Structure 1
Amino acid sequence: MRTSRSFAMVAAVAALALTMSACSSGDEPSSSPSESAALSADAQAALDKAFTGFGSDLSDLTSVTPKADQKFYVMSCGESNPTCHAPAAAMVDAAKAAGWTGEIVDGKLSPEGFATAIRQATAAGATVLVPIGISCSGAAAAFQEAKAAGVTIVGGGGQDDCSPKVWDSERLWLPADDQPTPYGIFGAFGTLQADYVFGKTNGDPKAVVINMTSQPWGQLITDSFSDELKKLGGGEVLAQVDVTDPETADGSYIQKVTSALLANPDANALIVPTDGYLVNGLAAAINQAGLADKLVVVGNFGSEAALDMIRSGTPGITATIGDAQDWEAWGSIDTAIRVLDGKDPAYIGQTIQAVDADNNMPDSGAYNGAIDWKSAFLTSWGK
């Protein structure tokens, strides 16, 4: 998998270089969006909203006792992707803090891998299973088998879109009345991405949008981004690039995205549904092609690797919408604890907000919100 990604990145950069050489007119390169004139009031308001973000303080988290002797498994969407691996590892830590055992099974970024990993966990005697990064329809038969075997299934960010529903509970974010869009937390990601690029381009984003098609949440991010631009009253989506999990796994998404950027030379923003794309080669391809200075590039999830790139000024990534992934990982364990205890799941309310080099950036590590959520969970579990 590593070799395929590297080859795809080299091929993409080579194609970009050839095309740019052939099309060069001798014009001076456009200035960076960050070097534009003073922001309008509307652009500044949108940027302020992006940095403020959404979330809760867990002040209403009630006490619950973890059921003893649970054998917990988390299905990572793909251990090669940092936005799959990090929450999976955090979830194992949370399960152990609750007094359970914890193991990771690797979905390997493919529907076949998801199903195999779920069946592996079921065969190993899992009593609790959390899938990260996929919805129920991504491996419906395997989830149904796990349920029939008596496994308690709790969402790890995806939706139970099977009919009839199979999971015991999704992980809950905020009550519907407190959410910024009808698309749930994934709608909030797209909304904040739109707010950020609207502000950074002074109200005139011309965006290429990567749309993750293998999971329903990818379209929610894409739709909410477009909806927010309409509400803001400026900018446009020049192109949508659909990317599947297999294209992510073999690295071919890099060629696909860079080709779209070349076909839309007026683009000044790239909207990316997950930091993993940027970390695993896309940012490097953008930079090596000479496009980094003209694009505001915004990822999602606030992974440690992406934040390290932003901290160090690595070209090809401008910002990410930080999602407190460790917080939400512990939230899935909290949800499982409450389900096993016969209680209603709590609203986890993890903070999400735009993070760039100058705003909301932690000193080190991944983005993890602004409150001591770990103590809140441990206190509620009696630990």
Structure 2
Amino acid sequence: MNHRLPLACIALAATMFIAGCAGDKGTGDEPTKAAAATSGVEAAKAALPALQKGTSVLPSGDSRPIKKGARVALLSAGQNNLSAQGPIDGAKAACKVAGWTCDVFDGASDPTKYSGLVNQIVAAGYDGIIDVGVDCPLISTALDAAKKKGIKIISAYAFDCNDPKYKGEKQFDGEMLYVDDRTGAEQFVAFGRAQATAMLALSGGKQKILHVTDGEFRILDYIAEGLEAGLADDPSTKVVETLDIKAADLVTGKAAQQISSLLTKNPTATAITTPYFAAGMAAVYPSLQSTGKAGKMFVQGAEGQAPELDMVRAGVASFVNIASPDWTGWAAVDTLNSVLIDKPVVSSGVGFTIVTKENATGKKGSTFSELPDYQSAYRKAWGVS
């Protein structure tokens, strides 16, 4: 049997092949990328309702009687930074219920002050330290003195010296655990991943993102890790520029100027991230308004305290990822109590909730209140009324 094709057919096939190649200036994997983008966005849309419902659960019900009469220092990265102030305020309320004497040591967003504050705490002979937002390397030498005095230290929003980035020795006595017994690292990677899911689901993908971060805080590295991993599910969404701001510059206005410049020099950008609540209120949202971009870009909000929820209600922020600062403060007190009474640290149950304009319930100025009754759960576990 003769399998040879007529020359005319061969010529026609060759002509069609060459024409097809000449007209295709892509890499050949565009259909695959398009399918991946569609798949990533659709998967995000499917996952979003559960995140809007929230992942938080009640804290462990295990009995852990409160340590009587403890004197505790609340070390804040900066009370001028509401991302630190919120958990500190929650811890103060929990201290009152526990019958503890708790005093705030305010770092005022100035890392040069942190070690001096710990030295003051050591000299005053406190029983324990709740560290909110001050990573271990910034106070390592002072912590050595605290440990020699038997002062216990636990962390919330702060990372120990044995973190993979720091490669030192463990110095904290305990770490707050989140929903599903997650460590801080695990929690904030998941937090960032949830932000990416919300961004893809709500925007439909194909975003050109301005990523604002603050390299002073290890927590933001973990959030960025989760965010970047989640955004990778949509190849059509890209980070076009990253800006590293500093917390101290929120007070001076420098950070707002930097973000305004970022917005101005990237006129085709379609989305911007907010690293944390204080940065949003002091710099991101004012810059959007001053450059005329408010309501015109997709805006990933931060942890959604009351003023930022108002930004969602007003349509300036597209969504926030609520991680209750008050609950975090109560959980920090619970964590230190477990360390003081020599019991294992248990899960706080703290998760997060994606909140959009549609589920931003409550009046202007109100906080997000759709959370389990964690305060009653802690009172019961501590054996206090």
TM-score category of the 2 structures, normalised to the smaller one:
0.7 to 0.9
Give 5+ residue unaligned stretches, structure 1.
1-39
Aligned CA distance change for structure 1 residues 351 and 367 (closer, same or farther; 3 Å): farther
Please name the residue that 2:170 is paired with: 165
Aligned CA distance change for structure 1 residues 234 and 45 (closer, same or farther; 3 Å): farther
Please name the residue that 1:125 is paired with: 125
Residues 322-373 of structure 1: CA deviation (Å, up to 9, x unaligned): 1011111111111111111111000112130112222154556333552101
Please name the residue that 1:373 is paired with: 374
Residues 50-70 of structure 1: CA deviation (Å, up to 9, x unaligned): 424433333x42011111111
Q: Distance in 2 between matches of 1:273 and 1:196?
A: 15
SS at 1:293 equivalent: coil
**Which AA in structure 2 matches 1:106?**
D
Tell me, yes or no, if the aligned pair for 1:275 and 1:320 is still in contact at 8 Å: no
Identity of aligned residues (%): 25
Q: Distance in 1 between matches of 2:147 and 2:316?
A: 43
Please name the residue that 1:23 is paired with: none
Please name the residue that 2:359 is paired with: 359
Tell me, yes or no, if the aligned pair for 2:90 and 2:330 is still in contact at 8 Å: yes
**Which AA in structure 2 matches 1:90?**
G
**Which AA in structure 1 matches 2:270?**
N
Pick one of 206, 221, 224 that aligns with 1:222. Answer: 224
TM norm structure 2: 0.81
Q: Distance in 2 between matches of 1:197 and 1:127?
A: 44
Tell me, yes or no, if the aligned pair for 1:278 and 1:317 is still in contact at 8 Å: no
Please name the residue that 2:285 is paired with: 283
**Which AA in structure 1 matches 2:171?**
V
**Which AA in structure 1 matches 2:284?**
L
Q: Distance in 1 between matches of 2:72 and 2:273?
A: 35
CA-based RMSD: 2.2
Please name the residue that 2:57 is paired with: 56
Matches within 5 A, 1:1-383: 41-42=42-43, 44-58=45-59, 60-162=60-162, 163-175=168-180, 183-311=185-313, 313=314, 316-363=316-363, 365-367=366-368, 370-383=371-384
Please name the residue that 2:31 is paired with: none
**Which AA in structure 1 matches 2:354?**
A
Q: Distance in 2 between matches of 1:204 and 1:378?
A: 47
Residues 264-285 of structure 1: CA deviation (Å, up to 9, x unaligned): 2222111111011121243122
Q: Distance in 2 between matches of 1:136 and 1:362?
A: 38
- Is 84-93 or 247-256 further displaced after alignment? 247-256
Tell me, yes or no, if the aligned pair for 1:138 and 1:215 is still in contact at 8 Å: no
Q: Distance in 1 between matches of 2:45 and 2:179?
A: 26
Q: Distance in 2 between matches of 1:202 and 1:86?
A: 33
Question: 1:303 deviation in Å?
Answer: 1.4
- Is 244-253 or 191-200 further displaced after alignment? 244-253
Question: 1:170 deviation in Å?
Answer: 1.0
Aligned CA distance change for structure 1 residues 369 and 135 (closer, same or farther; 3 Å): farther
Q: Distance in 2 between matches of 1:43 and 1:345?
A: 33
SS at 1:119 equivalent: helix
Residues 129-153 of structure 1: CA deviation (Å, up to 9, x unaligned): 1111122123222222222222110
Residues 168-209 of structure 1: CA deviation (Å, up to 9, x unaligned): 101111346x79xx9412112211221122122212222111
TM norm structure 1: 0.82
Give 5+ residue unaligned stretches, structure 2.
1-40, 163-167
- Is 371-380 or 146-155 further displaced after alignment? 146-155
**Which AA in structure 1 matches 2:285?**
A
**Which AA in structure 2 matches 1:149?**
K
Tell me, yes or no, if the aligned pair for 2:75 and 2:130 is still in contact at 8 Å: yes
**Which AA in structure 2 matches 1:277?**
A
User: Over alpha carbons, which structure has the higher Rg?
Assistant: 2
Aligned CA distance change for structure 1 residues 117 and 260 (closer, same or farther; 3 Å): same
SS at 1:146 equivalent: helix
**Which AA in structure 1 matches 2:292?**
G
Aligned CA distance change for structure 1 residues 227 and 282 (closer, same or farther; 3 Å): same
Question: 1:49 deviation in Å?
Answer: 4.7
Residues 67-94 of structure 1: CA deviation (Å, up to 9, x unaligned): 1111111111111111111211110111
**Which AA in structure 2 matches 1:150?**
G
Aligned residues: 338
**Which AA in structure 2 matches 1:206?**
K
